[in-house]
Chains A and B, each alone.
Chain A
Amino acid sequence: MVLASDTTTGAADHATAIEAWSAKLLQELPPAVGVLADVQRRGRAALEALPLPRRHQEDWRFTDLGGLTALSPRWDAAPVAPPADWPPAAPGVTRLWLDGRSDPLAGVELPPGLRPLAPLELSQALGHTLAAVGAEHHWPVAFNHASAGDCLALRVSGREIVQLELVSAACNDQAVLPLRVLVVVEEKAQLELTQVLLGSAASLTSLILELHLGRKAAVNHGLLALGEAPASLLAHVAVEQEPQSRYQFTSASRGWALSRLEPRISQVSGAAHTHLAGLQLAEQHQVADTHAWVRFEGPDGNLEQLHKAIADDHGRSIFNGAVRVPRAAQRTNAAQLSRNLLLSNLARIDTKPELEIVADDVRCAHGATVSRLQLDELFYLQSRGIDAELAASLLKRGFCAEVLKGLPAAAAVWEPLARVLQPGSALSAPERRP
Chain B
Amino acid sequence: MSGALVEAPPAADARAQGVPAREAEPATRVRGYWGNVWQRLRYDYATLFFLFVILLIVASAVFAPLLSPFDPNKASMAHRLKPLFYHDNILGTDEQGRDILSRILYGGRTSLLMGIVPVVAATFVGGLFGVVAGYAGGRLNTIIMRSMDVFFAFPSVLLAVAISGSLGGGMVNQLITLTVVLTPPLCRVAETSASQIRSMDFVDAARASGASTVSILLHHVLVNVVSPVLVYASTLVSASILLASGLSFLGLGVSPPTPDWGLMLSTLREAIYVRPIVCAMPGVAILLTSIAFNLVSDGLRQAMDVKA
Specify whether A and B are partners: no
